[in-house]
Structure 1
Amino acid sequence: MLTARRRVAGVVAAVLGGSLLLASCGGSDSGSADGRTLRLWHYEGPDSAMGAAWNEAIKEFEATHPGVKVKFEEKGFEQIQKTAPMVLNSSDAPDLMEYNKGNATAGQLSRQGLLTDLTAEVAKRGWDRKLSAGVRTTSRYDTDGVMGSGAWYGVPNYAEYTMVYYNKDLFDRYGIARPKTLGELTAAMDTFVAKGVTPLADAGAEYIAQQYLYQLALTRADRSWVDNYELYKGRNDFHDAAWTYAANTFADWVKKGYISRKSTGAKAEDAGVSFIRGKAPILFSGSWWFGRFRTEAKFDWGTFLWPDTHLTLGSGGNLWVVPKGSGNKDLAYDFIDITLSKKVQNLLGDKGGVPVAADADAITDPKSKSLIADFNSVSAEDGLAFYPDWPVTGFYDVLVSETQKLVTGGEKPDDYLTALQKAYDRGVPRR
């Protein structure tokens, strides 16, 4: 998917665009298997939890591999997203790279034969035993490139999920208690609207608006519903009770002023900044914001899981993939192993990330402990429901444009669902 978390967590990478921290590798040494250089691409900002953890992994790798250097190149998310098929089919492919998970991304590359099958290495090194079932789903792809079964083509070493971020100071100012049910959340938003405050930070031009709507659908869904939609295990009907409730409720929330009609042109960064500046009391979004809010928000804030459901958007994090043309696959495997070590995983957790193999007792930051505990709760209930744009290629753009129409009132909920059904059905692979 075009997981737009990279549009925020990788803010530094996005700004850099085509610029690299190191000169891009090319020419005669491209793809060389010299055994002394590991060419690594990822798009985590250096100040993010993942960026800090991978920098530590690089130090650990070089310390345990005398004479071997990591040639790290920071790429923008969009840069890798758009050029990966072409680059991986050339001599410029790195030895190891971070790539987005899902049918339309890693699944597509696996189907095209551009990624190394990691199944034997996963079993040999026990990586599968470190990952929960929900996190493992995005690591495996069948011959059609559909996630959930088949060979291992990637390994995540962190996780991500969505939650409600709320400004405790604003809640206290207006005498509102932390909502524990959806009814209480709705009542809180009514109070904010009555005080002239738009309660929800939104971004219609990117992923946040569609994720509000998908989460509303999840309150009326179960695991089989998710599997039908994401994994094609059964027919997905956009006019069923869950989708219909979500579209109608979302449109109603716009009418009630919970979501601003002006948010159609806003991007995820705009929504995040409105929360950081104390303008929006509530933002429903992912764990990828956590570290930034901890650093930049100058007020008391907290998080809670979306109420009245055990399902929420989330998955294993982006994948380490080994290109088929990698010249130093053994070095790549060793690096993956280090990112899954307790030392690196514990650091990731303390920096505000969601580790998949950390020692819980080693995490010292109270907010980080809460973040990880909530994830463990979701994961234990098999509650990771992935993301709405994952099922078919190009669906992200459809969701953006159609959801914008719901915000403006230019499209009725029933017509919105019909448009999604047509786009979805066009993209679902023949099974």
Structure 2
Amino acid sequence: MKKFTKAALAAAVSVFMLVGCSNQEAANNEGSTGEKVTLTVWHNWTGQDAKSVTMRKLLADFQTAHPEVTLEDEGLPTDGLKTRLRTVAAADEMPDLFVMWPDAMTKEFQKGDLLQPINEFLDSKPEWRDNFIPNALDGYTIDDNIYSVPMNLAPTSFIFYNKLLFDQYKVAIPKTWDELMTAIDTFNKNDIIPIALGNKTNWVAQSTIFSTLADRVTGSDWFLKAVNQDGAKFTDPEFVKALTVLQDLGKAKAFQDGFNGIDETQMMQLYFQGKSAMVIDGGWALANLVSNAPKEVLDNTHITIIPSITGGKGDAGSTAGVVGTGLGISKKLTGAKKDAAMELLYALSGPDGQQATLDSSTLISYNLELDPSKANPLFVELHELMKNVKISPVYDAKLSSAAVEVTNNGLQELLMGGKPEDIAKKIQDAQAKALGK
């Protein structure tokens, strides 16, 4: 009887230990499939700005919370990422997840059968799906299939200006094109760079300056017709005028010498060092300013939009932009890898990810309230400005890849003295060929 009791007791202890271990294992794997998977992730969060630091932390937090998932993430500068994505797309060798842009890029990747729709996953979380700002998902939607959601809001064209320098030289904050030209002249006479520009990677002048400047001249309706090659062409007089206006800025020495030889980071350094009175950049520059600008420069920086152009057809209260980059998911993913990829998408662009992005002084396409007491004053200024600014199309989101490249190279050529009519024809030919027209 004693032996039986000891045996029973030993068995009971063994069962208890097994149950305990099983419960602990279940707790450790809660929310995961338990199947080990590896995901490759390509992104452009490479800098030390608050946004990039935040996104890299979200990736690290996801890895910690999901030990069954191994993330192999690779960061590339924006222009390098775009080029590499299009290269691997041509070979059908996409990474598992990748930062991508709405409209043109999404359409090209979807046409190549490279993307995974996220409708089913998005519909499973209606409280997330239904909280984006109006039309936020349009640039990622094709034939009722949604291929991503925006992780930020990306107006591309603001004038960041150092009010200390404007006050020192008694320059008015430009509200008209004539006032801008007067400011440029005054700063040049006082050996201050009027507008720092870093156009080495060739998208900067197009995205941050020309998209808004051209819209001021042509209006958005004309541009969208030209994009579709339906009732407008890039050789039309209004577009040639827009190119001429940009060239006139260059001739007036609005930008420092060698602007095609430095990049966006070096451009911002000129502003941080107080060598330039202005810099024209997208809303994303805020995270860099807040993190890296010297206090004196940051405290005296304010924001406005490119001024109106006399006789222009565009909305003077707008700025070019898109709803923001999203995370594309490869069409090839299935099973546990697909499930893990969807969870990472949610971690980066769900409510917590959107809040973290907002807290990094980055605009979002999601309905969250900003707490002014916790935000940098300059970001509060930008956030308030956006309440009254409309978004107009940005060229590299609407044009074909071929036409974007021709436009970017053409603007470099234009600012070095190229003929506006010749560059307009190159852009027209590239877009028409891409559309088969």
User: What TM-score, normalized by structure 1, do the two folds share?
Assistant: 0.78
The equivalent of 2:184 in structure 1 is 189
Of residues 306, 327, 331, the one that matches 1:324 is 331
The residue aligned with 1:288 is 284
Aligned partner of 2:421 in structure 1 is 414
Give the corresponding residue for 1:234.
Answer: 230
Structure with max Cα Rg: 2
Q: What displacement does 1:82 show? A: 4.1
Tell me how far 1:405 sits from its aligned partner. Answer: 2.5
CA change 1:295–1:55 in 2 (3 A) is closer
The 1:79/1:306 distance shift into structure 2, 3 A limit, reads closer
User: TM-score, length-normalised on structure 2?
Assistant: 0.77
Shift in Å at residue 388 of structure 1? 4.1
Change (3 A) 1:296 1:361: closer
Partner residue in 2 for 1:305: 305
Moved >6 Å (runs of 4+): 88-92
Unaligned runs of 5+ in 1: 1-32, 143-149
Of 146, 165, 168 in structure 2, the residue corresponding to residue 170 of structure 1 is: 165
Query: Match of 2:414, as an amino acid?
Result: L
Tell me the distance in 1 between the aligned counterparts of 2:257 and 2:407.
17
1:372/1:284 CA distance change after superposition, 3 Å? same
Q: Deviation string for 1:194-239 (max 9, x for gaps)? A: 3233312223432233342332211134342343244x27333224
Cα pair 2:152 2:362 within 8 Å, conserved: yes
Within the candidate set 271, 275, 282, 2:271 is matched to 275
SS at match of 1:425: helix
Q: Deviations over 1:64-91 (max 9, x none)?
A: 65x5445241232456434446757999
* Mapped pair 1:394 → 2:390: no
Query: Could you report, residue by residue, the CA deviation over 1:249-284 in whole angstroms, capped at 9, with x for unpaired residues?
Result: 122222222234632333333322222222121111
Offset, 1:107: 2.2
The match for 1:123 is 123
CA shift, 1:286, in A, is 0.9
Q: For residue 101 of structure 2, what is the aligned residue in structure 1? A: 100
Task: Classify 1:245/1:427 alpha carbon distance in 2 versus 1 (closer, same or farther; 3 Å).
Answer: same
Q: Cα 1:208–1:84, aligned 2, differ >3 Å: closer, same or farther?
A: closer
Structure 2 residue aligned with 1:114 = 114
1:305-324 CA distance string (max 9 Å, x none): 22331332211222211111
Using the TM superposition, give the Cα deviation of residue 125 of structure 1 relative to its aligned residue in structure 2, in angstroms.
Answer: 2.5
Cα distance in 2 for residues equivalent to 1:277 and 1:223:
36
| Identity value in percent | 19
TM-superposed deviation, 1:44:
0.7
- In structure 1, distance between residues paired with 2:280 and 2:185: 17
2:92–2:114 CA contact under 8 A, matched in 1: no
Query: Taking structure 1 as reference, are residues 355 and 294 closer, same or farther at Cα in structure 2, changes over 3 Å only?
Result: same
- Residues 44 and 51, structure 1, Cα contact 8 Å, conserved in 2: yes
Q: Within the alignment, does 1:350 sit opposite 2:376 as a pair?
A: no
2:214 to 217, 221, 224: 217
Question: How many Å separate the matches in 2 of 1:389 and 1:348?
Answer: 22
Aligned residue number for residue 313 of structure 2: none
- Once residues 117 and 195 of structure 1 are traced to their aligned partners in structure 2, the CA distance between those partners, rounded to angstroms, is 56
Cα–Cα, structure 1 residues 261 and 413, in superposed 2: closer, same or farther, change >3 Å?
farther
Name the aligned partner's letter for residue 396 of structure 1. Answer: V
Corresponding residue for 1:265? 261
Aligned residues: 384
Provide structure 2 residue ranges, at least 5 long, that are not aligned to the other structure. 1-32, 309-315
